[in-house]
Amino acid sequence: MTVYFTKDHEWVRVEGANGTVGITDYAQSQLGDVVFVELPAVGKSVAQGDEAAVVESVKAASEVYAPVSGTVTAVNDALEAEPALVNSAAETDGWFLTLALANPAELEGLMDAAAYQAYVATLG
């Protein structure tokens, strides 16, 4: 299992040919209290960089972009009843969706945890 990060503050945890997608702890802290999450339909295909989900907080609505291309194989239904999971467990139980990876080579353009932390440190 390897976790990759984007400059848009999404993460993808890759296990075999599947990737579970969510937003980082940094992203949820910038959003504030999450009040609603809109998840994609299972079976939907998304391209890297496309909108994959929407998260609404008390401050704003934000898109969650697909860190890699793939087909949605599962969504985190728990978020519909408890969107605050995104705040309390952004990088674990607050995941949004799982993708069957269409092009694993896209992972090479993403950051590892150390590179992501260094990137966040530059944001002040």
In a domain, 82, yes or no: yes
Count of structural domains, the chain: 1
pLDDT confidence of residue 124: 74
Give residue 19's domain range: 2-103
Say whether pLDDT at 86 is over 80: yes
Query: Looking at residue 64, which CATH number applies to its domain?
Result: 2.40.50.100
The verdict on residue 116 lying in a domain is no
Residue 112 lies inside a defined structural domain of this protein: no
Q: Read off the pTM.
A: 0.96
pLDDT bracket for residue 1 (50, 70, 90): confident
CA-to-CA dists, residue 86 to 17, 40, 122, angstroms: 24, 16, 24
Q: Which pLDDT tens digit goes with each residue over 24-78?
A: 999 999 999 999 999 999 999 999 999 999 999 999 899 999 999 999 999 999 9
DSSP H or E stretch at residue 27: helix 25-31
Please indicate, yes or no, if residue 54 is contained in any of the structural domains: yes
Torsion of CA 31, 7, 120, 77, to 10 degrees: 40
